[in-house]
Structure 1
Amino acid sequence: MKTYSIALLPGDGVGKPVTEAAWDVLQAVAKASDFALEGTTFPWSCEFYKQTGAMMPADGIETLRRFDAILLGAVGWPAEVPDSVSLHGLLLPIRKAFAQYANIRPHRLLTGVSGPLKSDDFDVLCIRENTEGEYSGAGGRVHQGTADEVAIETSIFTRKGVERILRFGFEQARVRRGKLASVTKSNAQKHTMVFWDEITRELAAEYPDVEVASYHIDAMAARMVMAPETLDVVVASNLFGDILTDLGAAIQGGLGFAASANINPDRSAPSMFEPVHGSAPDIAHLGIANPIAAIWSGAMMLAHLGESDAAARIMVAIEATTKAGIGAIPGRDKTETIAKAVLERLL
């Protein structure tokens, strides 16, 4: 029987209970299938930072490298550790070190969940470039604290980075509805975004079976609200993808339904799976965090590992749960109630 080794990083706040809920579901489906999951939990978090001065140990990346996949809850506790410290101390180093350049975020309304739009026809797959672009971290500040202070943030776009994320998007479009939307702001950013548009056109010639359209980020934000049925696969840079996927999460009913995968497509290093929501300090003590996004992320992990049938069973159980009204309304049901309902509905 195949055994997969999974690194568990519950993190901060609601990350802990939703990771526990997701792991319970994953273990249940594994026991009912022909594989096993072996989890190792790491306490790397803002609390860990307060104790040690680092978000993870110096050998954290090499420790994670031996695992088949990583399941993460949520990281951040801004009242005590700045988000810039927590993000650059854990999530971004993992994504970059393991070349998890494809951030996949599925956005669709689950049965029984009401979104803010009049139409329920919402099914968009957002592909976000995950390792360079606007979040490269290049830049600096000089003359800090003086009237002459200067801050520079440099976006870095490489041909390799842009081409591989667009190609990944084209391949996803091929197995979905055959439509790809590339998002830039090339009318204002005449170097990086024109570069992105040029590579989109070059690759489009290799995928004649995929309908390609290019949009500016502001027009895409409007289209996601006004005409989401015209979209299939959306590919965007790190910053634009980050913004659009929060919009997508709102349209699908809230962050409690928004799953994601940080994928290393060539499988030379582990991929990482996490709900889009943060640590939610304001509700972390209430026991009402929706674990569906974390459970959905776990299903994406199983699909990536090759356990597609088990992943599909989890998605059926999630949809049956929300169809019954459990977990369908943010903040109404307890975390453990939703998790129990998904477990009961596993085929």
Structure 2
Amino acid sequence: MTTYKIPVIPGDGIGPDIVTEGMKVIDSAGEKFGFDVEWIEYPHGADHFLETGELISEDTLKELSQYSAIYLGSIGDPRIEPGVLEKGILLAARFYFDQYINLRPIKLLNGVWSPIKDKTPDDIDFVVVRENTEDMYIGIGGRSTKGASSKILEVNRNLYSAKFNLDIETDSEEIAYQIGMISKEGTRRVMEYAFELAQNRSKNLASVDKANVLSDIYGFWREEFESMSSKYPEVKTDFNYVDAITMWFVKNPEWFDVVVTPNMFGDIITDLGAMIQGGLGLAPGGNINPEGTSMFEPIHGSAPKYKGQNKVNPIATIWAGAMMIEQLGEQEASDNIVKAIERNISEGKVRTYDMGGTAGTSDVGDEIAKLVKE
């Protein structure tokens, strides 16, 4: 029997509640499909930070790098200034492990109400491939007050390094600036992943940019997409401005199969995708390095007001677990978990409050685990 060692970071708020149910369902799938999971829990989150002052150390990241996948509950706590945990744990992990792909299935399951009138599961079933390490999220910028100033900003990645020497002169009382950057290396690798994914699905790939206004950075993105498309002549491609694609997601979601997008636009459109598939409680995500350590999580937050109440919907986390074991090679077990989720929703017997039911978090986990075995 294959045994997978998987680190778990339950995190904050509802994180421990929901990740427990995801682990339960994966263990159930393992019993049915002949694999075992050894869960290795890590304490990193708000409580750990308040007790020790540590977010996540390089030693811990190095230790985690020996594993193929990490299972994450949620990060965020009102006792700590917004952004501290997110940058110090989530973004630190993404950059350390070079998780350059954020993968988001936008799939309407049977039994789920979509706010888009008359659209069915046949109409809403696509995947967004978001570049996950560049763009406006490289984390460099600053502020300057009236007069002259200078600043050196650096980006260091496994693929490359870049340095910006800025001489700033302004007669404004104060200015703020943020530098966005994409590289040929970073752009081409995420596009290659998207083309390969499209080739294995319906051979339809849509690209997102804003090349008509932000022509330098997103014009470069478009050029690279056009160049790479010549290597995949069987994949049908099209371009979409980010403002337009938000409209098409709502009006004609059936047009899309695989979507590839720069980091910032992907952050925006995947939240819209979550709503058209039924809400944040049904939206999983993966931060993926195909050759290294990936991390899987629900895309919703930590909802600290519901901490320990056994109330919230665990389906996004359970679905993220299905994505995780698919990444590990357990395709049949992953498909079975998604089918069990869909059956749970369709039958409507065990649902949390957000889906019109009265069941608790653990009740839904128990039910899906049971359906996995049937």
Q: Evaluate the alpha carbon distance shift between residue 152 and residue 53 of structure 1 in structure 2; reply closer, same or farther with a 3 A threshold.
A: farther
Q: Which residue of 1 aligns with 2:52?
A: 52
> How far apart are residue 149 of structure 1 and its match?
3.5
Task: From 199, 203, 219, give the equivalent of 2:244.
Answer: 219
The number of aligned residues is 342
What amino acid does structure 2 have at the position aligned with 1:300? Answer: M
Give yes or no for contact 1:4–1:68 (8 Å, CA) kept in 2.
Answer: no
Gaps of 5+ in 2: 147-171
State, as a whole percentage, how many aligned pairs show the same letter.
38
Aligned counterpart, 2:360 = 334
Shift of 1:287: 2.3
Query: Is the Cα contact below 8 Å between 1:110 and 1:319 reproduced in 2?
Result: yes
1:85-104 matches, cutoff 5 A: 85-104=84-103
Find out whether 1:303 has 2:302 as its counterpart. Answer: no
What is the deviation of 1:52? 2.2
Distance in structure 2 (CA, Å) of the matches to 1:141 and 1:48: 32
Say whether the 8 Å CA contact 2:352–2:364 is kept in structure 1. Answer: no
1:261 is aligned to: 286
Deviation of the 1:36 alpha carbon: 1.3
SS in 2 for 1:36: strand
Does the CA contact (< 8 Å) of 1:256 and 1:293 recur in 2?
yes
SS at match of 1:59: helix
* C-alpha distance in structure 2 between counterparts of 1:124 and 1:157, whole Å: 25
The 1:296–1:288 alpha-carbon spacing in structure 2 relative to 1, beyond 3 Å, is same
The TM-score normalised by the length of structure 2 is 0.88
SS at match of 2:83: helix
Which amino acid is 1:90 matched to? I
For residues 218 and 4 of structure 1, the distance between their equivalents in structure 2, rounded to whole angstroms, comes to 42
1:115–1:250 contact (8 Å) kept in structure 2: yes
Contact 2:281–2:315 (8 Å) recurs in 1: yes
Return closer, same or farther for 1:305/1:160 CA change in 2, 3 Å cut-off: same
Q: CA deviation at 1:316?
A: 1.6
Please, what TM-score do these two structures have when normalized by structure 1? 0.94
The Cα RMSD (Å) is 1.7
Structure with the largest fraction of strand? 2
The aligned amino acid for 1:214 is: F
Relative to structure 2, which stretch is displaced further, 314-323 or 192-201?
A: 314-323
2:214 is the alignment partner of 1:189:
yes
Partner Cα distance (1:12, 1:70) in 2: 16
Gaps of 5+ in 1: none
Distance in 1 (alpha carbons) for counterparts of 2:47 and 2:209: 37
1:273 is matched with 296
The 2-side partners of 1:341 and 1:141 are apart by 52
Give the ranges of 4+ consecutive aligned residues of structure 1 lying more than 4 Å apart after TM superposition. none
Three-state SS of the structure 2 residue aligned to 1:290 is coil
1:241-256 correspondence to structure 2 within 5 Å? 241-256=266-281
Which of structures 1 and 2 has the bigger CA Rg? Answer: 2
2 CA distance for matches of 1:339 and 1:261?
20
What's the CA shift for 1:16? 1.2
Whether the aligned pair in 1 keeps the contact of 2:311 and 2:353 (CA below 8 Å) is no
Query: Please, which of 139, 149, 158 is the counterpart of residue 174 of structure 2?
Result: 149
Which AA in structure 1 matches 2:95? Answer: K
1:320: which partner in 2? 343
**Aligned-partner residue type, residue 201 of structure 2:** R
Displacement of 1:245 after TM fit? Answer: 0.6
**For residue 303 of structure 1, what is the amino acid of its counterpart?**
E
Shift of 1:212: 0.5
On the 8 A contact 1:322/1:328 being kept in 2, the answer is: no
Deviation at 1:329, TM superposition (A): 6.4
- The letter for the 1-side match of 2:3 is T
CA distance in 2, matches of 1:64, 1:206: 35
